Every structure is written in structure tokens, then in C-alpha cells.
Amino acid sequence: MSKKLTPQQSQELLSILKIRFEKNIKRHPNLQWHNIQAKLEASPEKLWSLNEMDITDGEPDVVAYDETTNTYTFVDCAAESPKGRRSLCYDHAALEARKEHKPSDSAVNMANEMGIELLNEVQYQELQKLGEFDLKTSSWIQTPDHIRQLDGALFCDRRYNTVFVYHNGAQSYYAARGFRGLLKV
């Protein structure tokens, strides 16, 4: 599978991202779209990953810029966990361990295929400072090895104006649980 968009697909995605960027300036004050666009145009594989985030209803947007590394961070900013990435168990080991009623994929597998990372707990908390996300859904997050080795996995949501971190068996999956991704460009 080619991880490169056609010129038309690239222009369509850049247009969507620009509109989203301009509509949500509070997420990225002091950043200029033309700098971000130039960086994206120079990174076709990253643009492909952003397209994967977008077509699975993640609504990726810029949330940070690191001057030291000249890197922009895009995160799924959809109000709820992306619709095209729900009903997934945590990782491949959890998927393989299920004997019946297997989900179609796992969050970690899908993120790897898309070229993105699951948010970690700190990144999820930072995202919640930019708005209110996952009021009706939840999102798997990166799970520390010591928890995963015990067959657990972590997920987050926002309820009662508070961000909660929970645990579940990594094999579990729910229609209202997906994952949010992060991509550095």
C-alpha cells in the first residue's frame, strides 16, 4: 500500500487542515499556517498519516510547536474518540488472546499502520486543556509495560469536568472506546 497521497488528495487535505487551523486558533496561538503547510508538503508520508487520521474522523489539528526541533505536533481533536477507530482492543497480543468475538483490530496495530502514536497520559491531559474531549466516549492511551505485562491497559475520558484515567483488560473492547493519535511533523 502506497503511503503517499495524489497531488489532488494532498491539496484537498491541506485545505481541510487549513480551515480547521483557522477555526481553532486558540489551540495554536502564534503559529502561522504557511510554515506548517511548507513542512507538510516536504513530508508526504506524514501528510498520508494525517489523511488517515482525518478519514477515520479524528479531525487532526496542530496543538504544539517545538522551536528546538522545528517540529509541529498534530493530535486528533474530534470531540469524541474518532468514529473510525472504535471497538478495538488494546494491542496485537490482546487481539490474539481473544478466543471468540474478536474485534477487527487493535488500537496499537491501527496506530502503527497509520504511522501515528497513541497519546500517553500527559499528552491526553494536555489535550483536555484545549477543550472538552471524550464526554461520551473514551480513548485507549499508551500503557506502561508493568501494567501491560499483567494483561491490563489504560484509557481516559472526561466526566464531571474532570479527566479520568482508568484500567481495563487489554482484550476488552467497546463501541464507545477508540484511540486518539499523535503525529510529529
The pTM score is 0.93
Q: DSSP labels for 167-179?
A: EEETT---TTEEE
State the pLDDT at residue 102: 86
Q: What is the pLDDT of residues 125-167, one digit of tens each?
A: 999 999 999 999 999 999 999 999 999 999 999 999 999 999 9
CA distance 114 to 7: 19
Give the residue from 1, 7, 3, 31 showing the smallest Cα distance to 18: 31
Question: For residue range 4-57, what is the model confidence (pLDDT) as tens digits?
Answer: 899 999 999 999 999 999 999 999 999 999 999 999 999 999 999 999 999 999
Q: What pLDDT is stored for residue 4 in this prediction?
A: 87
Residues 54, 52: Cα–Cα separation, whole Å: 5
Q: How far apart are CA 54 and CA 49, in angstroms?
A: 9
Query: What's the mean pLDDT in 67-86?
Result: 97
β strands within the chain, DSSP E: 60-66, 71-76, 117-118, 138-141, 152-159, 162-169, 177-179, 181-184
Return d(Cα 83, Cα 137) in angstroms, integer: 10
CA dihedral angle for residue 54, residue 60, residue 66, residue 70, rounded to 10 degrees: 30
pLDDT value at 1 more than 70: no
The answer, yes or no, to whether residue 92 has pLDDT greater than 90, is: yes
β-partners of residue 169 are 152
| pLDDT for 98 beyond 90 | no
171-184 pLDDT tens trace = 999 999 999 999 99
